[in-house]
Amino acid sequence: MAHEHDHDPEHGHGHHHDHTDLDWAEMGPMLESSAELFASLYERALGWLAREVTEPGLIVDAGSGPGVVACLFAETFPGARIVAVDGSEPLLERARARAERQGVADRFSTIAGELPDVLGELDYPADLLWASRSLHHLGDQRAALAAFAQRLAPGGTLALMEGGLPRGSCPRPRHRPARPPGADRRGAGGVVHTDAQRTAGPCGGDGGLARPAGRRGPEAHQDAHVPAGPARPASERARAYVIATLSHMRGMLTDALDADDLATLDRLLDPDDEASVHRRPDVFVLEAHTVHTAVRAV
C-alpha cells in the first residue's frame, strides 16, 4: 500500500496489490516526497488521535510505505514503540533510514509482508493500529477489519483513514487563457481529480470493535490541507507533486486516453508551454481525509 498507494504518486503512504509490477526502490523518493507534502494534514489527524488515545505502548502503521506517517507517530507519542508494516522491503528500508535520521530508531521497527496476515508477526497486541488507504486494497474488507481487531489489545483503537474529498490540483481559470485541447475531459485548464476513494464502512461490529466510549456512533474526523491555492503561488514542493502526478498519469494511461487527452497532458507537462503546470500561477493542491476510529471491547 503508499500506505498508502494505488500507485500513483498521490498515495504517500501504503499499498496492497501486486508488488511484482512496480519498482518500489525507484518509486520510494516520489512516495516519500508526496507524503511529506501533506505532513501537516497528518500531524493534525495525529494530534486529534493523541487526545483520544492516551499513552499507547505499541502503535502499528499497517501500510506504512516509506514511513513518513510512522515517524510522525513516533514524534506525537514519544513513549510508544512504533512498528511500520508494509509489503515492500525497499520502502521499509526508507522508513528505517528516516527513523534513524529523526532519532527514533531505538523504538522503531518494521515488518515486511502482506496485510492482514502479516500482523500475526507482531510480538504483542497494538494499542493503536493505523491503516491509511490500505483497507480498500484488500479483497475481503470485512475479514480484514476482523483481522485488524484481533491484533488490538483490549481497549485498543483502530484508526482507518479512507475516503474524503477527491484529491485535486490546478484549478479551472476564470478566463480560460490558452486552454489546451481536450481540457474539458480532464477539467478545464488541466484540473486533475482522482477517482474518489471508497469510504470504509462503519467499524462497529467487526471482530469485536465497538464505538468509542461515550459516543453514539463510530468517531469520524475530517481535515483538509491546501498547500497552495489560487491566491498565492504554489510552493516548489507542491508544484513538483502536481508535475509528478501528471507524469505518472501520462505513463500509466497512454493506451486508455484519446489523442486530445494525451495532447492536453503533454502541454501541461511541457516546461516551455505557458499553459503548463511548470509555469501557470494557479496551480494548487487540495487534500481532505476522513479518519474513522473504533475501539476493541475490553
Q: How far is residue 158's CA from residue 152's CA, in Å, rounded to a whole number?
A: 8
Looking at residue 46, its pLDDT comes to 93
Looking at residue 13, its pLDDT comes to 41
pLDDT tens sequence across 239-250 = 888 888 888 888
Preceding amide of 271 cis, omega within 30 = no
Facing residues of 286 across strands? Answer: 168
Looking at residue 204, its pLDDT comes to 43
Q: How far is residue 191's CA from residue 95's CA, in Å, rounded to a whole number?
A: 32
Facing residues of 61 across strands? Answer: 84, 130
Looking at residue 168, its pLDDT comes to 56
pLDDT tens sequence across 244-272 = 888 888 888 888 888 999 999 999 999 99
218: cell is: 463510530
Does the domain spanning 19-296 belong to CATH 3.40.190.10? no
Looking at residue 169, its pLDDT comes to 56
Domain ranges of the chain: 19-296
Looking at residue 170, its pLDDT comes to 57
Looking at residue 221, its pLDDT comes to 55
Quote the strand ranges of 151-246, DSSP E: 152-161, 168-169, 192-193, 209-210, 219-228
Looking at residue 35, its pLDDT comes to 84
Contact 71, 108 (CB under 8 A): yes
4: cell is: 498508502
Q: How far is residue 12's CA from residue 63's CA, in Å, rounded to a whole number?
A: 10
pLDDT < 50 regions, the chain: 1-20, 171-205, 213-218, 224-230
